[in-house]
């Protein structure tokens, strides 16, 4: 299907000259994008690009079945344009973001309110969708929560214990990440990219390094690509294990909860064994990696990995063997496959709805072109399915690490890369543990960043959480929330 | 004079021993999870700390916010005075005191729920609603249990009712009362006393806005309630009247410890139930007590 598309096609982790990106009047861009989305494409990014006092819109699409990405843009304009959300709901948050950042109004958008900022006021003080009725009560949770988590505001409309509607207001962690990148890359940029979402350090750092490499028309040495893939899977293992423990904790299942907290630390320490930092900071750099994994340490890593994996298997066996846990997880917080496709879910949340959607498989880049783990999919769309997918991914990531550590790539770890080419457009997708991390860059005539767009998987998936809560008991919100475990700072940027 | 001395001694015993139980439960849980866990005396430290603290009062709250926990605590202590301890009998004993016990427990619950709704918070309203809706089912089970003991002994005074063993229906009664104990004291699988998630709490969410001494009173009252149910369960099952005074005291202590450790083990090995499944379990507890009643009523005939 992508053969007949008017969009410019390219592969993940490659670049193309900006002049080759087709430009249409905005109504036509919206129409064409809507048509592709309704034919099965996925919206990876939709953002504004200021040109003088006008702005042009850029659409980055993914044709998963064809392993291809596509890009198109509008001619610069000002004011109002017909909303893409009306054609496909995947765009609804993107359009709100564009409205907030550039003042372009999507005409007919059903729920146009800011994504991160509310006219200088706290997001919790914004407007919320309200359900009327004598029996309806409103519950407000956050931005300060009882646990040690990030700030975010949740507004529930409930009839008794049943949630009719949940609206999520984020923006408390907005740090201006994208603004800081304009005119970059700066000296601090790489460190900033590692902290876009602290628990997704490797994925975001890899995406950014890949962008710089493809803008330079180069590639990191194979050994660096291999090491990045190892670190990415270690990050997945640590976070998924932590999530399984947190899920067990939320249903008061003590054994798994106690064990997983400790094992998560073991996995983090393996990343520390590679680069000295438990979250992998300082490992990935444009052009390669900064720390090598010598055979002696690789052997040590493999040994410790096996122990940690065996511990995880035991802890998860307790969880899955407990009928009391399974009844808590089943049929709670269901997202239907049709809904998931409609709102463009990514990562384990999408795979738990039976959607085979994995960047490592659909748009392989780096080491994943040579070695892939099977995609972990589970039908159902409930908390059980999401936990199950995590559980499967722990197994497969462990197996993948075992195989790949035994057959490392040889050669250099780092190579000098040229500065970014001028007027070039690049996209890098990386399958982080939460899902698709998307970085998009466009350089100006001097080869500096003219626009840098980051889409964290959480940006796609928060809507999924809101949908999962519909018709669910409000007391099940914590396990639904944990089963998605989305990032607040990755969304807020 | 000795009567007053006896009363004060009992009051002191209940006051001082009750906070030990949550400490034991937490130790058991920590042991199963392979952790060291908080000290057994942690609740005593917490109570001392809370007692020295100030109180944050909502401008919306009426005096009921403070009065509620106080009345609830007095009601629970009063209920405790009605429960006989081994062969020593109760501080207060009269015909029909068991009815007063049930009403005092209900009064304590009413006052906690009332105080919870004083601040107008959505969380506490939800908590209060959950607490009273489960209480309806739990009370049915308690009434059935009391009836079975009453039929068994032909008495409506706790001292006589709890003196012999519950007879043939003892196992049914023990299972039913243990389930009620878990529900009434907000333990897993009904509630999770350790959770930090306000949306899933029952008892904890009702006291979210309380602080300082009123919170200390609520926490202490909860531990007294736990001790009260443990003592009641132990004495209902064991034949207290047939033992020597020291033997009865030993059996009572051992029984209460067993119940406490069982609560810890249940909490360690079972996940919490979804709210919609709780009525099913409470109805099961009611049925167990009802069958104990049937055994006590018709058991001798066969």
Q: Which of A264, A261, A220 is nearest to A239 (CA)?
A: A264
Residue A135 reports pLDDT greater than 90: no
Domain count, chain A: 2
Could A137 and B270 be called an inter-chain contact, meaning their C-beta atoms sit closer than 8 Å? no
Residue A346 is assigned to a structural domain of this protein = yes
Distances A431 to A236, A389, A438 between C-alpha atoms, Å: 10, 15, 9
Which tokens go with A157?
């409309």
- Number of A to B CB contacts under 8 A, please give it: 83
Q: Give the pLDDT confidence score for residue A393 in this predicted structure.
A: 94
A155 inside domain: no
* A417-442 average pLDDT score: 92
pLDDT tens-digit profile of A42-62? 999 999 999 889 999 999 999
Range of the domain at A90: 2-107
Task: Note whether residue A115 is domain-resident.
Answer: no
| Residue A322 to residue B275, Cβ atoms within 8 A | no
Q: What is the pLDDT of residue B1?
A: 76
Report B:181-220 residues touching A (Cβ under 8 A): 188-189, 192, 194-200
User: What is the pLDDT at residue B255?
Assistant: 94
* Residue A469 dihedral angles phi and psi, to the nearest 5°: -80, -15
Q: What is the C-alpha separation between A86 and A10, in angstroms, rounded?
A: 27
3-class SS at A23? strand
ipTM above 0.85, yes or no: no
| Nearest residue in B to A319, CA atom | B271
A186 lies in the same domain as A100: no
The whole-angstrom distance between A324's CA and the closest CA on chain B is 5
CATH number, position A433 = 1.10.645.10
pLDDT per residue as tens digits for the range B90-99:
888 889 999 9
Instruction: Spell out which residues of chain B touch residue A325, defining contact as CB-CB under 8 Å.
Output: 271
Q: Is residue A154 domain-resident?
A: no
List of chain B residues with pLDDT < 50: 302
Pick from B122, B188, B199, B208 the residue to mutate for testing the A interface (most A CBs within 10 Å). Answer: B199
Which chain A residue has its CA at the smallest distance from B196's CA? Answer: A146
Contact across the interface for A254 and B126, Cβ inside 8 Å:
no
- Give the pLDDT score at A203: 94
Rg of chain A over CA atoms, in angstroms? 22
Chain A residues touching residue B270 (CB < 8 angstroms): 252-253, 322, 324
Tell me if A137 sits within 8 A of B123, measured CB to CB: no
Q: Which residues contact A410 (CB under 8 A, 6 or more apart)?
A: A222, A223
Last residue of a domain, one of A87, A107, A127: A107
| Domain shared by A232 and A85, yes or no | no
A327 plus A464 within the same structural domain? yes
Give the 3-state secondary structure of residue A452: strand
pLDDT above 90: residue A408: no
Does the distance separating the beta carbons of B199 and A478 come in below 8 Å?
A: yes
Contacts of A321 (CB under 8 A, 6+ apart): none
Check CB contact of A149 with chain B, cutoff 8 Å. Answer: no
Going by pLDDT thresholds of 50, 70 and 90, the confidence category of residue A211 is very high
Report residue B214 as tokens.
């009123």
Is residue A362 domain-shared with residue A256, that is, in the same domain? Answer: yes
Tens-place pLDDT, residues A103-134 = 899 999 999 888 887 777 888 888 888 998 88
Interface contact A255-B271, CB threshold 8 A: no
Looking at residue A46, its pLDDT comes to: 93
Spatial distance between the Cα atoms of B201 and B207, rounded to a whole number of angstroms: 10
State the pLDDT confidence band at A221, using cuts at 50, 70 and 90.
very high
Distances (CA, A) of A229 to A313, A408, B28: 22, 11, 42
**pLDDT over threshold 60, residue A2:** no
Question: What is the pTM (predicted TM-score) of this model?
Answer: 0.89
Do A11 and A103 fall within a single domain? Answer: yes
Do the Cβ atoms of A480 and A469 come closer than 8 Å?
A: yes
Mean pLDDT of chain B: 90
Q: Which of A107, A132, A149 is the last residue of a domain?
A: A107
Helix axes B122-153, B170-184, angle to 10 degrees: 160
Using CB atoms, pick whichever of B33, B188, B199 lies closest to residue A477: B199
Report whether pLDDT(A95) > 90. Answer: yes
Q: What is the DSSP letter of A375?
A: P
- Please determine, for residue A81, whether its predicted confidence score (pLDDT) is greater than 60: yes
**Amino acid B300: pLDDT:** 65
Measuring CA to CA, how many Å separate A175 from each of A58, A120, A439? 23, 14, 17
* Residues A189, A80 share a domain: no
pLDDT at site A434: 93
For residue A398, what pLDDT band results from cuts at 50, 70 and 90? very high
The residue whose two tokens read 């979402």 is: A197
Q: Does residue A147 surpass a pLDDT of 60?
A: yes
Give residue A194's pLDDT band: very low, low, confident or very high (50, 70, 90). Answer: very high
């Amino acid at each position: 299907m992508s053969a007949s598309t008017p969009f410019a096609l390219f592969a993940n982790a490659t670049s193309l000259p900006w002049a080759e990106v087709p430009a249409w009047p905005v109504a036509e861009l919206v129409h064409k994008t809507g048509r592709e989305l309704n034919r099965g494409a996925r919206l990876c990014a939709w953002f504004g690009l200021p040109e003088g006092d006008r702005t042009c819109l850029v659409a980055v699409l993914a044709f998963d079945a064809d392993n291809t990405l596509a890009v198109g843009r509008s001619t610069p304009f000002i004011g109002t344009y017909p909303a893409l959300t009306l054609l496909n709901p995947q765009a609804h948050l993107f359009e709100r973001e564009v409205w907030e950042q550039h003042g372009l109004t999507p005409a007919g958008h059903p729920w146009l309110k800011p994504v991160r900022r509310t006219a200088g006021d706290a997001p919790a003080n914004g407007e919320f969708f309200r359900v009327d009725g004598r029996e309806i009560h409103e519950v407000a949770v956050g931005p300060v929560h009882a646990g040690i988590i990030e700030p975010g505001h949740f507004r529930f409309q409930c009839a008794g214990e049943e949630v009719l509607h949940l609206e999520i207001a984020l923006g408390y962690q907005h740090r201006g990440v994208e603004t800081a990148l304009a005119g970059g890359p700066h000296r601090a940029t790489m460190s900033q990219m590692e902290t876009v979402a602290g628990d997704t350090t490797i994925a975001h750092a890899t995406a950014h390094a890949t962008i710089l490499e493809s803008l330079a028309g180069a590639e990191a040495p194979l050994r660096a690509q291999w090491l990045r893939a190892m670190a990415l899977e270690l990050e997945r293992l640590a976070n998924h294990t932590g999530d399984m423990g947190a899920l067990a904790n939320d249903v008061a299942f003590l054994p798994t909860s106690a064990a997983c907290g400790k094992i998560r630390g073991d996995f983090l320490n393996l990343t520390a064994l590679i680069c000295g930092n438990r979250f992998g900071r300082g490992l990935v750099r444009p052009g390669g990696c900064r720390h090598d994994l010598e055979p002696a340490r690789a052997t040590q890593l493999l040994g410790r990995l096996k122990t940690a994996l065996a511990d995880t298997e035991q802890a998860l066996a307790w969880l899955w063997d407990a009928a009391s846990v399974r009844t808590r997880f089943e049929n709670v917080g269901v997202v239907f496959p049709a809904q998931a496709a409609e709102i463009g879910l990514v990562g384990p949340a999408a795979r738990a709805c039976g959607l085979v959607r994995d960047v490592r498989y659909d748009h392989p880049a780096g080491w994943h072109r040579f070695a892939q783990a099977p995609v972990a999919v589970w039908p159902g769309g409930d908390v059980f399915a999401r936990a199950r997918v995590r559980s499967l991914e722990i197994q497969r990531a462990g197996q993948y690490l075992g195989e790949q550590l035994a057959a490392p790539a040889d050669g250099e770890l780092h190579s000098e890369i040229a500065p970014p080419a001028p007027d070039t457009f690049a996209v890098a997708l990386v399958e982080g543990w939460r899902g698709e991390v998307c970085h998009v860059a466009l350089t100006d005539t001097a080869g500096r960043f003219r626009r840098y767009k980051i889409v964290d998987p959480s940006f796609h998936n928060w809507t999924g959480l809101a949908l999962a809560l519909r018709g669910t008991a409000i007391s099940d919100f914590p396990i639904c929330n944990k089963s998605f475990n989305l990032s607040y700072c990755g969304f807020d940027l | 004079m000795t009567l007053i001395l006896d009363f004060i001694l009992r009051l002191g015993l209940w006051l001082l021993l009750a906070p030990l139980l949550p400490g034991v439960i937490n130790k058991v849980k920590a042991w199963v999870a392979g952790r060291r866990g908080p000290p057994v005396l942690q609740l005593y430290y917490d109570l001392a700390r809370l007692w020295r603290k100030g109180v944050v009062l909502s401008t919306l709250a009426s005096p009921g916010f403070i009065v509620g926990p106080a009345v609830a605590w007095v009601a629970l202590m009063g209920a405790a005075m009605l429960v006989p301890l081994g062969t020593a009998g109760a501080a207060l004993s009269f015909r029909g005191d068991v009815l007063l016990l049930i009403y005092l427990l209900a009064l304590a619950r009413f006052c906690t729920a009332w105080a919870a709704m004083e601040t107008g918070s959505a969380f506490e309203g939800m908590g209060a609603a959950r607490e009273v809706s489960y209480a309806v089912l739990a009370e049915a089970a308690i009434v059935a249990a009391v009836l079975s003991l009453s039929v068994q002994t032909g008495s409506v005074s706790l001292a006589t009712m709890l003196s012999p063993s519950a007879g043939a229906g003892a196992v049914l009664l023990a299972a039913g009362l243990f389930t009620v104990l878990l529900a009434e004291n907000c333990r897993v699988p009904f509630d999770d006393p350790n959770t930090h998630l306000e949306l899933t709490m029952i008892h904890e969410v009702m006291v979210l806005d309380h602080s300082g001494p009123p919170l200390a009173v609520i926490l202490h009252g909860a531990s007294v309630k736990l001790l009260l149910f443990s003592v009641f369960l132990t004495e209902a099952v064991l034949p207290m009247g047939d033992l020597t005074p020291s033997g009865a005291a030993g059996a009572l202590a051992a029984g209460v410890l067993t119940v406490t450790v069982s609560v810890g083990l249940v909490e360690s090995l079972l996940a919490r139930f979804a709210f919609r499944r709780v009525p099913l379990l409470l109805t099961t507890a009611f049925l167990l007590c009802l069958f104990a009643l049937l055994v006590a009523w018709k058991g001798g005939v066969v």
